[in-house]
Structure 1
Amino acid sequence: MVVSLGTRLSHRNKDMGNTQVQPPEEAYCNLDTREGLPVVQLYVMPSFFLAVLILGLPLNLLSLWVFIHRLRRWTRSTVFLFNLTLADTSWLLALPFLIHYHLGQLYWSLGLPFCTTVRMLYHNYFYLSIFFVTCISVDRYLAIVHPLRSLMLLGRRQTCVLCVVVWVAALVLSIPVAKMTMIQTCPESNRTVCALYILLSGTGETLPYSLLCSIIGFIFPLLSICYCGLRSVGELRRRPCRPDPHNKQRRLRRVLSVALVLFALFYLPYHLIRNAAIVMRAVYPDNPASWRPADLAFALEMCICSLITCVNPLFSCFIGRQFKREFRVTFAVLFPKCPGMQVASMISKQTRMKVRKRQRMATVSPVCALPAPRS
């Protein structure tokens, strides 16, 4: 009686603090390296995250510098690409804590609030990436199919408001992660882990939430991209005789191809494997051994999805001509010994000289004028 009362009091004291003690999950407490999941969690994931941090953080910081200091004319796509880079950078700044967590044998010592913040950042960033890629595709659709109406629908102020709405929508979509994220204590090692809601045994909340996020955050954006792409291609094919000085058709094909590649390589496998991991827990609640293949696949998919932060700067270069030019020039200044960077710098200088020459010619008034006709 006294022991049980003391146990209840200890649990109550822990619940009153920042740590919630819940039944431990095998996915975090079993670190037997003879199995696949512990090997991925202890060695593969921190290696991937560290490589992504080393490569992705300089690329995104350089991209932000180019956006802020080098681009003089901002289009709607430029605003969306800037927000996409900002989302990448925010998640990369939280990545060192995950690296420390996985290198430290899955021991979390920073408390529940920080555990919740890190888990929410990953979830929030993932859907921010999807939403902004969708915004870029919709922007190209409006510019081609409804060019005049798009100026009224998406002016500079409306574009900024839309970006704020996207940030708020992704945050609202990630709020349930805060409720489902918990800190668990493994009984054998007394090790504290930062549990991810996808790998929890209880699926009463996780499965509906995961399916809802898949519908709102993946299926709707994918359908929107497909619809905008088909309508835009159809509109361009209806006017084949018209000149295309801005290469709209080629730029549209670029946007569609890159967006569909991102969805096929990163977003689609992530949602399929995430839902499969939760469904296996719902179908076989008393057989943890049947969960391991899906858990292993999801852990590997988390590694692959972290590469998006390195791909998005290349996406910005592929989509924006002005950003690509300024990015190459800035990169050439920072790394002049890289092959091809001197050529890129010379080409950019020649291009700037031509632009300045055209501006001077456009502003200079003629010296001689024709005489006025005599009456």
Structure 2
Amino acid sequence: MSNIYYGPSNSSIDNCTDVDDLMKRYYLPVFYGAIFIVGVVGNITALLVYIIKVRPWKSSTIIMVNLVITDLLFMISLPFLTYYYSQNDSWTLGITMCRFTRFIFHFNLYGSILFLTCLAIFRYVAIVHPMHAHSIKKKRWGTLACILGWTVAVAEISPIFNQIEMKVQDNKTYCLDLASNNPEFMWPYSWVLTVLGYLVPLVVVCLCYWRIMKELKQGPHKESRKRVRARRLIVLILTCFIVCFFPFHALRAWRIYTKLTPETNCMLDRWAHAAYIISRPIAAVNIIINLPLYTLSGDCFKQAFMEMFRFDRLMSKTKEIVEVAVISKHTTKITHDESS
């Protein structure tokens, strides 16, 4: 096995289990392939529903559409990553595509975080400050928020293009992930990404939803459909932040730290790398968790989806058949009783 992913003190050690190499070869292709299939089908369907059926568009609709586009951009890179890892780390597409695939992974991650944060802020204003609810729903605020989100995400991730490297060893070309590149640069840069790209949005989201939950507990109709939907939206977004994004940021920091410290035990080094590998598809699972968000966003997506695929007609016809069957059965029973 090549030891290109480890520090100089570990480069000559061959007595450690290659657990991280096995994870890359078998775990990453399977998970990335599954995410690609579900993500492409789900997000293309969502985009078609938004473009064709959802009317009128509100600020939340624009945020959701941009979230879909961000996820679809990530879908472009997944076949390349799946093939790369299935071929045991053999990259053949050049440095530009290498940097693009690494860039788009992190852009999807931090773009999703920013768009979910925007959604939380807009929801906070609509529920906690109802006097401004009509204004915040206007399309211009959604457009402005998304322009700002794209700009900040690109600014956060742009250094990757200069830092991601390809390395050749044992006649094989490697496209190194962010945490496997120059640790002297990646250590402070990863903390900038963690603080500005994840922790600050997490605090904003938690504060917004804490105030929203307090507001939803007050007044009558606590179990109304609108309030239940709002609670489910909160749970889903917080799950995405904690389950998908937290392990990735914590394990990336651990991975870079072990690479930065030459005295790290070789097994600890490999397990840190393996844990980081596990966290990457988990971070990408936010693409699948985003799919239920569309039905909870409050912009009639569920109704539009049902109408577009004619589920409403199917349901009405099924209801009619059931009613006819029940009436027929009831009539037959009455006739039988009368004849008796």
Match of 2:60 among 55, 60, 77: 77
Instruction: Indicate how the Cα distance of structure 1 residues 51 and 43 shifts in structure 2: closer, same or farther if over 3 A, else same.
Output: same
From 314, 335, 339, the equivalent of 1:342 is 314
Q: 1:215 aligns with which of 181, 195, 198?
A: 195
Counterpart residue number, 1:25: 5
Corresponding position: 1:191 with 2:163 = no
User: Residues 107 and 153 of structure 2 are in contact (CA less than 8 Å); yes or no, is this contact kept in structure 1?
Assistant: yes
Paired residue secondary structure (2:300): helix
Matches of 1:344 and 1:102 in 2, distance apart?
A: 48
Question: In structure 2, do the counterparts of structure 1 residues 66 and 266 end up closer, same or farther at CA, with 3 Å as the change threshold?
Answer: same
Question: Aligned partners of 2:102, 2:85: CA distance in 1, in Å?
Answer: 14
Q: 2:212 aligns with which of 207, 210, 232?
A: 232
Q: Tell me, what secondary structure is at the counterpart of 1:184?
A: strand
C-alpha distance in 2, partners of 1:144/1:92? 34
Contact 2:59 2:136 in 1 (8 A): no
- Equivalent position of 2:20 in the other structure: 37
Choose the corresponding residue for 2:254, options 260, 276, 285. 276
Deviation at 1:113, TM superposition (A): 1.1
* 8 Å CA contact 1:88, 1:309 repeated in 2: yes
Task: Quote the offset at 1:310 in angstroms.
Answer: 2.0
Aligned-partner Cα distance in 1 for 2:297–2:318: 22
Correspondence for 1:267: 245
Is residue 254–residue 319 contact of structure 1 (8 Å, CA) maintained in 2?
Answer: no
Contact preservation (8 Å) 2:295, 2:301: yes
Distance 2:256 2:313 in 1: 48
Determine which of 37, 45, 62 is the counterpart of 1:62: 45
Query: Could you say what secondary structure the match of 2:175 adopts?
Result: strand
Q: Percent identity?
A: 26
Give the Cα separation in 2 of the matches to 1:33 and 1:104. Answer: 22
Sort the Cα spacing of 1:321 and 1:166 in 2 relative to 1 into closer, same or farther, 3 A. closer
**How far, CA to CA, are the matches of 1:31 and 1:332 in structure 2?**
60
Say whether the 8 Å CA contact 1:328–1:344 is kept in structure 2.
no
* 8 A Cα contact 1:255 1:319, kept in partner: yes
**Which of 110, 129, 133 lines up with 1:127 in the alignment?**
110
1:313 counterpart residue number: 291
Please report how far the alpha carbon of residue 266 of structure 1 lies from its aligned counterpart in structure 2 after TM superposition: 0.3
**Cα shift readout 1:209-238 (whole Å, capped 9, x = no counterpart):** 111111111111111111112222333445
Change (3 A) 1:314 1:247: closer
- Any idea what the Cα deviations from partners look like across 1:280-308, whole Å, max 9, x if unmatched? 22344565443111110111111222222
Change in CA separation of 1:341 and 1:281 when aligned onto 2, cut-off 3 Å: farther
Q: Secondary structure at the match of 2:167?
A: strand
Q: 1:166 maps to which residue?
A: 149
Question: 173-182 or 152-161: which moved more?
Answer: 152-161
* AA of the residue aligned to 1:192: T
Cα shift readout 1:75-104 (whole Å, capped 9, x = no counterpart):
222111111111111101221111121122
TM value normalised by structure 1: 0.76
Q: Give the Cα separation in 2 of the matches to 1:236 and 1:314.
A: 21
Gaps of 5+ in 1: 1-22, 334-339, 348-375
SS at match of 2:90: coil
Q: What is the distance in 2 between the residues matched to 1:245 and 1:76?
A: 26
Q: Which SS does the other structure have where 1:251 is aligned?
A: helix
Answer yes or no: is the 8 Å Cα contact 1:233–1:249 preserved in 2: no
Question: What secondary structure does 1:72 align onto?
Answer: coil
Is contact 1:328-1:345 (8 Å) kept?
no
Residues 293-302 or 324-333, more deviating: 324-333
Contact between 2:58 and 2:142, CA under 8 Å: does it hold in 1? no
Q: How many residue pairs are counted as aligned between the two chains?
A: 313
2:281 is aligned with 1:303? yes
Runs of 5+ unmatched residues, structure 2: 320-340
Shift of 1:331: 4.7
Letter in 2 for 1:311: I
Measured after TM superposition, the shift of residue 250 of structure 1 is: 2.4
